[in-house]
Amino acid sequence: MKGFEKFSIWVLINLLLWSSSCARGSSVVNPCCYYPCQNSGVCVRFETDIYQCDCTHTGFYGQNCTDPEFWMRLHLMLKPSPSVVHFILTHFQWFWDLVNSSFLRDTFMRLVLTVRSDLIPSPPTYNTRYGYLSWESYYNISYYTRLLPPIPEDCPLPMGTKGKHDLPDPRLLAERFFKRKKFRPDPQGTNLMFAFMAQHFTHQFFKTIHEVQGGFTKALGHGVDASHIYGDNLERQLQLRLRKNGKLNYQLLNGETYPPTVSEVPVHMLYPEDFPEELRLVTGHELFGLLPGLTMYATIWLREHNRVCDILRAEHPTWDDEQLFQTSRLIIIGEIINIIIEEYVQHLSGYLLKLKFDPTLLFTERFQYSNRIALEFCHLYHWHPLMPDSFLIDGDEIPYSQFLYNTSILMHYGVEKLVDSFSRQPAGQIGGGQNSHEKVVKVVEMVIKESRATRVQPFNEYRKKFNLTPYNSFYEFTDDFQMAKGLEELYGDIDALELYPGIMLEKSRPDSIFGESMVEMGAPFSLKGLLGNPLCSPEYWKPSTFGGDTGFNIIKTSSLKKLVCLNTRWCPYVDFHVPRNEDKAEKSYTDL
């Protein structure tokens, strides 16, 4: 009888263990769920509860890759922290004036490019399906790549082993921590000209397939290919082309060039069903009819492409339509990269070092001319707090209800007045939270849901990946006490905070558009993607690629001001920064 009682107890215990195991998926925790491997070490699981950290090429050794080798120890002793480097680059004007006017500019620029780019692995590593190196991750470009592998599926908690059993409701997060209470302008002076450039520029390589979970992209190119101007496939490109003198199709309104309508060029565009046919303008990207700011940039680049075609045709009368088009496209791609580095990134960084687009700086360095867009880069680039409460154009205030899907605004005011107005109106501060307009706050929910579906690792793990010190508490993470308290209640542990809320809600640097993490994570992705373009390689970067010195110089001397003023009847105020001095701004932009 005693034996039967013991057997019954043994059966009961095992049944309880089995049911508990079924409820959690496994009674043994995957050791990689603890993220034990530091300093880019790779966690490899053996059996059920044994792991090893592969520390190869990290400069560290030990069970968890925490012990620095001699040269790494020396490097760490001498290397300043990211915050110190940022402080130096944004202070000491007299020193940077000296650097910018001497050979030292090239030296510092090369250092910026190599240090930033080295943080991004090339060739690509992971994707959502494969948390380990595989040929599929490298070869299948329909996936975004991943900087860190996804959270293992068998972890006991959503973010690994820390935090709560259930993540906060995305709508609650969006409403409580992202939705705007009062418009907060960016203290760096960012304007709407920058905001619309950010949207227009990035839509050529951020093309997530939202209908299919798993980090898929429909972009055929993973970088700056100007597909937002020319279409993302050959069929669309051929429809957008005039098929004469290399030019893109267009319509003339009051003697000015604008994109054609869908009735003239029948390509797929996203417009409301009842939208007037004559206002359905056609652009390289199907979504650019949504905002007049995007249609404005599409118009400017259309005009610039056709202007470049005229210049090339005058120099090369024997060239056919195809060669004129293809060479003009290469020049346009070069112009885009130049403007983005020397003006767009320059503005974002706040650096006193004058950034320079010169691919030859890397010709003697170990550098790979290829790029894959990372899922993390796509997520952190949702900068919708830039959008204002309403739009001020030529003295008129236009609310969202009249701004969305209204291409008539472009034709009514003209490119010049839109550029001038957008360059003068402040954009919102991105970092710090509670600054997203209610019309765009749903994007927050979308990104958070997508992040969870693709099992993106916690914010602090990315801090470590980019050589930043992980936060110890929510009160260190943000200087807003109520926000810190609320996040702590919802997440339970700072190590369970998700990447996108972490990037967007982090306290901003003093007088800056966003926090430390956005700069230190975004800049490497951006610079590697820009300089990794084949156009920047020794094989491409030479005059013959662009039809000779004239085409080459169009790229080298390009600027936002030239892009606008060479394609408009009069030259408006154009910059990524609101006017610092109104009178001075008006005088300085009267002539090219």
Distance (Å, whole) CA 56 – CA 216: 30
Whose CA is closest to 205, among 148, 144, 150?
144
Distance (Å, whole) CA 309 – CA 319: 11
pLDDT tens digits along 101-112: 999 999 999 999
**Band of residue 265 on the pLDDT scale cut at 50, 70, 90:** very high
Distance (Å, whole) CA 525 – CA 379: 12
Q: What is the mean pLDDT of the chain?
A: 93
Distance (Å, whole) CA 96 – CA 51: 48
Quote the pLDDT of residue 366: 87
Distance (Å, whole) CA 528 – CA 119: 9
pLDDT tens digits along 339-388: 999 999 999 999 999 999 999 999 999 888 989 999 999 999 999 999 99
Q: Which two tokens stand for residue 420?
A: 């001038």
Known catalytic membership, residue 381: yes
- pLDDT of residue 184 exceeding 70: yes
Whose CA is closest to 536, among 300, 340, 343?
340
**Band of residue 221 on the pLDDT scale cut at 50, 70, 90:** confident
Whose CA is closest to 414, among 567, 577, 201, 265?
567
Return all residues near 343 (Cβ < 8 A) that are at least 6 apart.
559, 560, 576
Quote the pLDDT of residue 171: 97
Catalytic residue among 35, 381, 500, 589: 381
Q: Residue 66: exposed, middle, or buried by beta-carbon count in 10 A (0-12, 13-18, 19+)?
A: middle
Catalytic residue among 86, 200, 203, 379: 203
Whose CA is closest to 287, among 204, 215, 192?
204
Q: What are phi and psi of 95, to 5 degrees?
A: -65, -45
- pLDDT of residue 581 exceeding 90: no
Quote the pLDDT of residue 592: 54
Query: For residues 80-95, b (16+ Cβ closer than 10 Å) or e, as one string?
Result: eebeeebeebbeeeee
Return all residues near 302 (Cβ < 8 A) that are at least 6 apart.
229, 248, 250, 257, 258, 259
Name the one residue in this structure whose structure tokens are 């894959």.
Answer: 372
Percent over 90 (pLDDT), the chain: 91
- pLDDT of residue 84 exceeding 60: yes
Q: Are 377 and 522 in contact (CB under 8 A)?
A: yes
Name the E strands within 428-483.
Answer: none
Name residue 257's beta-bridge partners: 252
Q: Which two tokens stand for residue 556?
A: 């080298």
What is the DSSP code string of 473-489?
-HHHH-S-HHHHHHHHH
Distance (Å, whole) CA 203 – CA 319: 31
Rounded to two decimals, what is the model's pTM? 0.92
CA distances from 392 to 279, 400, 426, 428 (A): 22, 11, 10, 14
